Structure 1
Amino acid sequence: MFERDRQHLFLSQTTNNNNIGSRKLLLHNLKQIIFGRVSGRWMYRLAKYLFFFILFGYLFWIWIQRPQVIIDENFGESDLANTNSDITKIETLCSPITSTCYSVVDIINRETSTVQRAMYINGFEKEYDTVVQLIPPKGMTYETSDTRIWAINNTAITTQYVAAMITQLFTTSALPLKSAGDNERELLCIGLGGGNFDMFLHTKRPNIKITIVELEPVVVQLAKRWFGVVDDDRRKTIVKDGLTAISESKINGDKYDAVILDACDNTKEMPCPAKTFLTSSTLTEIKSILKPMGTLIVNILPLKKQKANLEKVMKILLSHFPVCIKMQMSYEANVVVSCLPYSLASDNLEDTKQLILQRAEKASNDLGIHGVLEYLDLTIVLK
């Protein structure tokens, strides 16, 4: 009996061992089948899904961590909230008259945490027509506020050549250093751009009468929309060909303390001044509408063959004016030239130059643009 029990127990253990071995073999085979198929068919898909899940999770985390930016929805969508871009295009308009396109951009300076707004002619992206300083809302930065809603600082000048044009109004005595008698002063500006020149002067000396003539309606539209240009009883913008405005002024007998020629064309070699204003007839008309102590101020921008093109323009100007004062900027390609309808004594030009430099320093200090006005040289050139 005990023998039969031992045999039964042995057979049971053997059966159990066989069952365990069979289960292990079954599990082993099942694992081979499943993981073999997974590794061959599903592992790639699983890895791909896992990668995209992690990627989308990371991007979502970045999105919820972004700065809260104030957006003025009246201006529509923009990528101004993307602080990874130092230059953001705001708007581009093309002229129905000349097919020239003009763009407005906001430029972030991360070192100074300031923002400037600029306008340029498409094709001249590195040559800004106008650059103005923006004023952020109180407590805001470009990271937390839509710069399109920032105010324009019309009491600041950011470019050397604009500072030079303003200063030369005073160095040539076209305008007095003191504001007394400003009601009797009148300027004619050919070319608006973003209005930095005239809006600065209008803010500093509001009683001077300033007339700005601009050929392109889209430029006026951009200037009023993005550069804070406004018209009032002492400053007005007229959409008209500058040549027509000059001729009409002569016919009407208008006289100006200064004519500022800051009109450019699309010439790659020397866009400023526009060649149509350098004809003999036009310069004769400009001279005729100046007051006896008036001045013609010209912005010259020779981008190629600088010396030859500058000499060419100077020769044309000196064929109509007895004396011109040339101011070469230190880090801008512009050269600002003031031409006078009266003569200067040739035997004391050095004393005259020192007087002009003193008046330039006085005017730039009074106007708060001394730090911007940096020039390589000031030269008096006689006919």
Structure 2
Amino acid sequence: MTPRLFPLLFVFALALTGPLVPLPARAGISAEPTGPEVTVETPQALTQAYLDLSAWDGAGGTIYLAPGFPRLGEIALEQGGDNPVHITSADPADPVRVSRIAFDAVDNVRISRVHVDSTGATRPDFMRDIDITQSSRIEIINSIFTSNGSIVFDPADPTAVLGERLSMIRHARDITVSGNHISGYEQGLTFQETVGLRVIGNEITAIQGDGIRIVGVSDVRIEGNYMHDFSATPNEFTHSDFIQMWSRNAEIISHDITITGNIMDTGNGVAVQAIWLGNPVYARGDRAHVYRDITITENLIYTGAANGIGVTGAQDVRIEDNTLLWNRAAVTIKEDGDTSFFPRIRLSDDITDAAVTGNITTRILHGPQVRLADNILMSWTATDPNFVGRHFMDVVQGGDIGPNGWRLRPDSTWVGTGAPASQPDG
């Protein structure tokens, strides 16, 4: 290990808009490392530095990856101590490129300012660009994750490239993934059997399948992410979702899930299901497998898929202040003909103790135990008083309309309802 003479300063700021709200419970490292700072040039030196600093007298330390760190090297850590360690690039303007992050039984580590891309690496198919298991208090922040998946992927096309699967984070606790740029993967972030999860402020784009996938999780907050312009794939190959939760093979019955303040924008891309929290285990007869405490608020959804917000097999559900807009130009690619539908809110008949309030959408499907209040059902017929074109700046034609197109007109009677991102500018 080589002592670093001139430590780098990093200042991270979270820009908040709107009223102050209570911050979520912390998930990530226990404290800022105050121990030694070292620079490493090889994965082997990184491993040794981690073992040393994670055991450093309660203070931990910081590891800087030198510009010469191998392009296909890995940040691979196993066990170690429980003191906080921060691993980052020595030159934040030129993040070190590595092929993989792999943690096994690791505690109290932050990764920042790295670029992960396994293109060209030789490894078994089951490996992911992020593999984390049996680990806790982990932060992955302000980094870049890229794969080389084709923007238009057809499995019948021999020239098409299937992207890597970004992550498998499993049997983990207190995980934060924040401020990252993610693009070009077959599947995005996947979390299974994870307690204490924060996915905040990431940009996720050009994904061939799902952006965020969760199963068997609790104490989850997915907030302020910008998910947009996913890749085109046939519906028979993958049903793309911006956010999907399911229950098969889950050890934990998912509960305490908050999805708030995200923008899901199909832009010039294809139709993508937005938020789908399906519960196939319940649907197939296990009536004890019920999701609990689901909160979906203040999300802006712009897509051409019918499932805008969908929840099944759950109790204590709150869906509030979301805006769901139809991107007519975004289609689902199907063998029997491409389709585009307006996104809707759909709660299955088995949902109990649920409230759907203050949303702007075209349709709400629900069972008998759902309370409705102050929702606006817009129309796509020009002669209807609730015609979307009378209220929104530029939604009717579809396509890449950007934030200004999603906004309500200042004179609309709907101002104050729906997601903050759809309110008039200023």
Between Structure 1 and Structure 2, the one with more helix by share is 1
With the length of structure 2 as denominator, give the TM-score of the two structures.
0.23
Larger radius of gyration: 1
Between Structure 1 and Structure 2, the one with more strand by share is 2
With the length of structure 1 as denominator, give the TM-score of the two structures.
0.25
Where relative contact order (Cα < 8 A, 6+ residues apart) is larger, the structure is 1
